[in-house]
Amino acid sequence: MIVADSGSQEVADLAGCRIGPRRVALLARSLATPIFNWIELCAPVQSRYLTLSTIWPTLAEMDADPQREQRIAAVRRFNRFYTRQIGVLRKGYLDTSYSLGEMRVLYEIVHGARTATEIARNLDLDPGYLSRVLRQFEKRGFVRRTVSAEDARQSHLAMTPRGRKAFAPMEKGSQTLVGGMLDTLTPADQSRLVEAMDSIESLLNGKGRPEKKAGPNYILRQPKPGDFGWLVKRHAEIYAQEYGWTEPFEGLCAQIVADFANKNDPKYERCWIAELDGDPVGAVMIVRDSPDVARLRLLLVDPKARGLGIGARLVDECVKFSRKAGYKKITLWTHSVLAAARRIYENAGFRLTASEPRHTWSKDVVAEFWDLQL
């Protein structure tokens, strides 16, 4: 309910417009009539002042975007989390008397920044603030300025021995902080974290997705001495780190590899090794299950090479080889927890034919059986 004194300025303010005393009186009398009538009194000044009559159509035309609001909220929530996580909100960063901004200025100088202009550009700092920070460091003997021989208006910055001595524990503290944060994660989760950070950096720098190396990133080749040992070792290490599967799993891998190494038939069986920068990073085997059925075994992609399409390429090679060898079907055994591998199989045309819960390798797992008709 709206209550107003007909002789007061509040009536005009309430309507959201400025009108003279005569219109105030008219407005006050019109309060007993429908609201649209007295809003019209503000019509002459609608272009200058927001009134109910100008707000209502605007509100109806506004396009709400709840997803955008949710994304904004998610980014702000992450910012609050991460600034707390790395201690930015503390009075002194890394338990020192220096702020994070001051430490970043020292870091830039230690790592080659020669002028204040360069530092301001790299850190997006206000020149006035940066000038005060540099003067403070000069007074403490951390930084030395020398006039540029090419341009007398420009000064070159350099860290003094005293400055390097002061910066050393800061650098060590930062390394310890980040190292401790990573140590709480498995190696696989550490890789996921770094990949996510790469994506954030690339996207916010306007580069889209993280850049991949130009040209062929890897090659597929036949096994050479040492590869079979690597295949067993990396299977055991990766599955222990990522899924907690224990020693019996390594024994199973060793038996599969030994059987292949000792008695494979090159006409019907094959092993591929994916190599990146001279190191093995992936592998798969096709072995003969029966005259008409091939079995895909030990698909592996090392965490450092994930995201390059190696797993899909290895499976594709298995399919092409099996067709050429005359097989009518490829079968495989996997587990429900291996989500990335399952996606590769499904994309290649394999279909889940059966599954069953088991307690294997000290874990409760769901074994799955997939087939591809050739």
Amino acid making up residue 170: M
Q: What is the pLDDT of residue 208?
A: 54
- For helices 247-263 and 227-243, the axis angle rounded to 10 degrees is 160
149 and 271 co-located in one domain: no
What is the per-residue DSSP string for 138-183?
HHTTSEEEEE-SS-TT-EEEEE-HHHHHHHHHHHHHHHHHHHHHHH
231 and 142 co-located in one domain: no
Distance CA 299, CA 282 (A): 8
Angle at 332 between CA 278 and CA 338, to 5 degrees: 65
328 and 262 co-located in one domain: yes
Q: What is the pLDDT of residue 20?
A: 54
| Residue 362 host element (H or E) | none
Q: What is the pLDDT of residue 196?
A: 84
Residue 315's CATH number: 3.40.630.30
Q: What is the pLDDT of residue 266?
A: 93
Residue 4 lies in a domain: no
How, if at all, do strands 143-147 and 329-335 pair? unpaired
103 and 31 co-located in one domain: no
18 and 124 co-located in one domain: no
**This prediction's pTM:** 0.46
Q: What is the pLDDT of residue 9?
A: 44
96 and 129 co-located in one domain: yes
89 and 174 co-located in one domain: yes
Residue 213 lies in a domain: no
269 and 292 co-located in one domain: yes
Q: What is the pLDDT of residue 21?
A: 52
The domain of 169 spans 70-183
178 and 107 co-located in one domain: yes
Asked if 331 contacts 374 with a C-beta cutoff of 8 angstroms, the reply is: no
pLDDT < 70 positions in the chain: 1-64, 207-217
Supply the DSSP symbol for 294.
E
Domain count, the chain: 3
46 and 84 co-located in one domain: no
95 and 131 co-located in one domain: yes
Q: How many CB atoms lie within 10 A of CB 305?
A: 20
Q: What is the pLDDT of residue 8?
A: 41
User: Which residue, among 307, 257, 254, has the nearest Cα to 285 in the 3D structure?
Assistant: 257
Backbone angles phi, psi at 352, to 5 degrees: -70, 125
30 and 109 co-located in one domain: no
Domain boundary residue among 155, 183, 211? 183
Distance CA 322, CA 335 (A): 23
Residue 164's CATH number: 1.10.10.10
Amino acid making up residue 132: R
Q: What is the pLDDT of residue 207?
A: 59
